[in-house]
Amino acid sequence: MSSSLNVYLLEVAATRALVGSKDEQLLEVVRDRFGDALDRDDRWFAHAIEEGAPTAFEALRAVVHGGPFSRNEDHGFRYGYAYERLCGLTGVPLDNGCFTPHRGDWLTVVDNGLKTLGVTAVSVEEFGFGGLPAPLPRADTPDYGEWTPGAIAEALEQFEATRREVDASGEAPPLEPEVADAVMQCVGWMRRAAARPGFGVVGFRF
């Protein structure tokens, strides 16, 4: 079974602040802009909705109002999908070609590649086991993680330090080509974030 990773460039703190904001204007914007997507989502999860799960818009409204949330743990994924929709509205989707689809321990493999290059301040595994922002219920899917602006700045410093060492020695750390491609995709995400003060990277693993 394969997984996918959806990654966004956005102001992490500002997007988190939408949870519980009670912003009715935002809800109207989402309904107007994503109405067809909300309807498709409801058709896809019609069976779960019949069993009491919230519709896509009901889940979105609960996220924006900070509740109430379903007490059924099996319905938690609906709020995860709703939060991703907010991230898609406020952020910019990033190229995820090296991560969608992926299998097994690929995120760990890429993290090891980052560590080989001296980068330890961020981890793609964070996108594979993190929880949604409070007070959203825990969900089996999607997994969620964040790279803050501070962590990104530190990670880029680590990467540049290794690159200077490689330039001086002429010897590059050994990485498999596909791992090197994924690592450089991560570096690309970080460079885009660093170019915009206050921006970070968030990831959803499905």
Tell whether pTM > 0.75. Answer: yes
Q: Provide φ and ψ at 168, rounded to 5°.
A: -75, -35
CA distance 36 to 90: 18
Are 96 and 7 in contact by the 8 Å Cβ rule? The answer is yes
Reported as a single tens digit per residue, the pLDDT across 143-190 is 999 999 999 999 999 999 999 999 888 888 899 999 999 999 999 999
Tokens 């490689």 -> residue = 166
Total domains in the fold of the chain: 1
Q: Give the domain extent around 162.
A: 5-205
Reported as a single tens digit per residue, the pLDDT across 20-45 is 999 999 999 999 988 999 999 999 99
